[in-house]
């Protein structure tokens, strides 16, 4: 076990049942091919960000559709950050953990505008929009459909200290799910790229 579970199926037929997600079927297929990950798919199938990352690195000749690639394709095609993180199921799980943390973080709710805004929107919608945004930014097929970062945060007057609290919470979540260092750096760079639109400038 490399870290906290982000995708679990107890169902032995998950790999072949029509209607199961492609992610689930791919995940099971990976386990059939990787001897080092000693899990029996007939009993349980458990994925973590880190395990999925290992899966992709050890199967350089299989692309996401399971097609065999030519030698040059296998060398040149690096999986997107989205794929290395494990796709939408893994990213949504991580976002859920992050939002659950920031919703109750006293360092953020000390800002009365943040506190009020946090409690007027249903967390599920907030989680959906952040998942959609991060998935799209990481190279997934999703396209963010919410408001701009400037528009959705400008009334909250978010300070640099509150931003740091958010980044601390993000670090806690990334560590909890054992996201590898390289992918952590890429996720944090994506989040940092929104900072100028969210944090009020210090005058």
Binding site for ligand HEM (CB under 6 A): 108, 114, 117-118, 121, 126, 129-130, 133, 146-147, 152-153, 158, 162-163, 166, 191, 194, 198
Least distance from C-beta 114 to ligand HEM, angstroms? Answer: 5
Query: Closest residue to ligand HEM, Cβ-based?
Result: 146
Least distance from C-beta 78 to ligand HEM, angstroms? Answer: 23
Question: Which C-beta is closer to ligand HEM: that of 84 or that of 118?
Answer: 118
**Interatomic CA distance for residues 97 and 169, integer angstroms:** 9
Identify which of 190, 191, 198, 200 has the alpha carbon closest to the alpha carbon of residue 169: 191
Residue 173 near residue 125, CB atoms below 8 Å: no
Question: Which C-beta is closer to ligand HEM: that of 55 or that of 135?
Answer: 135
Residue 114 near residue 198, CB atoms below 8 Å: no
Least distance from C-beta 91 to ligand HEM, angstroms? Answer: 12
Which residues on neighbouring strands pair with residue 199, listed in sequence order?
A: 158
Coil vs helix vs strand at 113: helix
Tokens 């560590």 appear where?
A: 175
Least distance from C-beta 175 to ligand HEM, angstroms? Answer: 18
């Amino acid at each position: 076990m490399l870290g906290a579970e982000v995708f679990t199926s107890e169902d032995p037929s998950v790999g072949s049942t029509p209607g199961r997600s492609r992610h689930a079927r791919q995940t099971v297929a990976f386990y059939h091919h990787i001897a080092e990950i000693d899990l029996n798919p007939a009993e349980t199938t458990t994925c973590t960000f880190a395990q999925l990352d290992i899966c992709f690195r050890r199967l350089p000749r299989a692309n996401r559709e399971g097609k065999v690639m030519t030698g040059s394709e296998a060398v040149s095609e690096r999986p997107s950050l989205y794929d290395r993180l494990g796709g939408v199921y893994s990213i949504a799980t991580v976002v859920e953990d992050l939002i659950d943390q920031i919703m109750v973080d006293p360092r953020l709710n000390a800002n009365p505008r943040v506190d009020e805004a946090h409690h007027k929107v249903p967390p599920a919608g907030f989680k959906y929009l952040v998942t959609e945004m991060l998935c799209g930014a990481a190279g997934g097929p999703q396209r963010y459909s919410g408001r701009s970062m400037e528009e959705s945060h400008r009334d909250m007057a978010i300070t640099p200290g509150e931003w740091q609290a958010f980044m601390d919470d993000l670090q806690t979540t990334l560590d909890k799910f054992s996201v590898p260092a390289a992918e952590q750096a890429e996720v944090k760079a994506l989040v940092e790229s929104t900072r100028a639109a969210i944090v009020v400038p210090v005058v």
